[in-house]
């Protein structure tokens, strides 16, 4: 890490002009001052509490503004050093966190904290890489997998995406982590402290401010309050080159999956067309509508998976055997058979190789006899 927490903390005394602090009236309108019931408070939050009203603690918004400025100054510096992870898994925060992170190039956790994300980062990274590979396999149509295997894989991808979708392409520990509710995200805080990752967090009156490096006393349950602070974090993080890189990686990944799936669908359509052509050709061969001699060459569409070559060869042999039938085996009148035999025509193949006029020129073969012959060899 380029700068220690202490060094960054000292530098936050200088006011940063890269962001605009919300006015106290804005904090008030968002309900940032509402704390928890007195019975649920943490005594270590006493310095941030303005008063008690109807059994509810009211947070001092002047102190909220002061601590917010320190936190945003620190976040500005950390976001320049590396990527930022934002964690908000409770219901009212999950969607807000996800939308802000995707828009501003931040990593996020909004379902449940994956144990070991910081303390066993290499193992989590391998799981994410496996997820990316499975997504590509699905986009390619499963690459030879049967339907049941595909369904199992899709189910596993959906499960892993709920956990890891927000940390795809996170190749190293973040420069800092933002916590929306320190009471709910205790595991994330423990791992961050263990790995010396700076923590910026909203702390309500029921939280312990001592475990947060940059505590921001505020209501962490109200949707308006959460949205106000998350947008402030996002506006700062989204201006960095690191954030642009994350956005680009996500966009390229989605585009690649779409391209792979489109190519798979096009290839499947092409194969289906080939199979249909093969079926039509086989039908034509069996019915004798396609000839394999010099005049009529057969267009062969080879499909190894269906072993079409073997079927075509068998059909051609059957047709050749049919062509070697003698004239006597055709259902022709004895007079026609006699005329053909006298002309030296002994089998079906010889008849097929003759034109209509050539056959008519044979003694004893007229128009009616010709029609009978054509019907027989058809």
CA distances from residue 300 to 217, 234, 281, 311 in whole angstroms, order as listed: 77, 61, 8, 12
> What span, in angstroms and rounded, lies between the C-alpha atoms of 110 and 115?
14
367 Cβ partners below 8 Å, 6+ apart? 360
Residue 15 scores a pLDDT above 60: no
Counting beta carbons within 10 angstroms of the beta carbon of residue 326, is it exposed (0 to 12), middle (13 to 18) or buried (19 or more)?
exposed
Give the model confidence (pLDDT) of 101-122 as tens digits. 999 999 999 999 999 999 999 9
Residue 1 scores a pLDDT above 80: no
> What span, in angstroms and rounded, lies between the C-alpha atoms of 108 and 89?
10
Output the pLDDT for position 2. Answer: 44
Give the model confidence (pLDDT) of 112-161 as tens digits. 999 999 999 999 999 999 999 999 999 988 777 888 888 999 999 999 99
Strand partners, 202: 216
Average pLDDT, the chain: 84
Q: What is the average pLDDT across 303-331? A: 65
Collapsing DSSP states into helix, strand and coil, what is residue 202?
strand
Output the pLDDT for position 355. Answer: 74
Share of the chain above pLDDT 70, in %: 85
Q: Which domains does the chain have, with CATH numbers?
A: 5-262 (3.40.50.10490), 278-323 (no CATH), 327-377 (1.10.150.20)
**Secondary structure E strands in the chain:** 34-37, 49-53, 56-59, 84-87, 107-109, 176-179, 199-203, 214-217
Q: What is the average pLDDT across 35-51? A: 91
């Amino acid at each position: 890490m380029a700068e220690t927490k202490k060094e960054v903390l000292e530098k936050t005394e200088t006011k940063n002009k890269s962001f605009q602090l919300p006015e106290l009236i804005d904090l008030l309108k968002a309900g940032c001052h509402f704390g928890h019931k007195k019975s649920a408070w943490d005594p270590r939050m006493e310095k941030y509490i303005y008063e008690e009203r109807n059994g509810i603690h009211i947070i001092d918004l002047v102190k909220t503004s002061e601590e917010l400025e320190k936190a945003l100054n620190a976040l500005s510096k950390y976001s320049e050093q590396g990527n930022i992870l934002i964690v908000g898994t409770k219901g009212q925060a999950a969607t807000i966190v996800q939308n802000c992170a995707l828009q501003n190039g931040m990593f996020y956790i909004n379902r449940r904290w994956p144990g070991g994300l910081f303390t066993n980062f290499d193992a989590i990274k391998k799981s994410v890489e496996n997820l990316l590979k499975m997504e590509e396999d699905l986009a390619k149509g499963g690459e030879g997998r049967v339907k049941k295997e595909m369904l199992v894989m899709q189910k596993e991808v959906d499960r892993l995406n709920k956990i890891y979708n927000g940390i795809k392409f996170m190749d190293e520990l973040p420069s800092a982590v933002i916590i929306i509710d320190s009471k709910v995200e205790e595991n994330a805080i423990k791992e961050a402290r263990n790995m010396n990752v700076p923590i910026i967090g909203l702390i309500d009156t029921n939280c312990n401010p001592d475990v947060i490096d940059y505590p921001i006393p505020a209501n962490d349950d109200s949707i308006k309050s959460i949205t106000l602070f998350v947008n402030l974090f996002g506006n700062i993080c989204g201006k960095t080159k690191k954030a642009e890189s994350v956005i680009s990686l996500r966009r390229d990944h989605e585009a690649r999956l779409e391209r792979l799936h489109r190519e798979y669908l096009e290839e499947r359509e092409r194969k289906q067309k080939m199979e249909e052509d093969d079926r039509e050709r086989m039908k034509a061969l069996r019915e004798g509508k396609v000839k394999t001699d010099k005049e009529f060459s057969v267009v062969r569409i080879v499909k190894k998976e269906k072993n079409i070559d073997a079927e075509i060869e068998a059909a051609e042999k059957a047709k050749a055997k049919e062509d070697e039938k003698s004239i006597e085996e055709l259902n022709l009148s004895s007079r026609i058979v006699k005329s053909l035999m006298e002309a030296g025509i002994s089998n079906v193949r010889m008849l097929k190789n003759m034109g209509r006029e050539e056959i008519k020129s044979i003694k004893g073969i007229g128009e009616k006899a010709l029609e009978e012959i054509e019907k027989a060899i058809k």
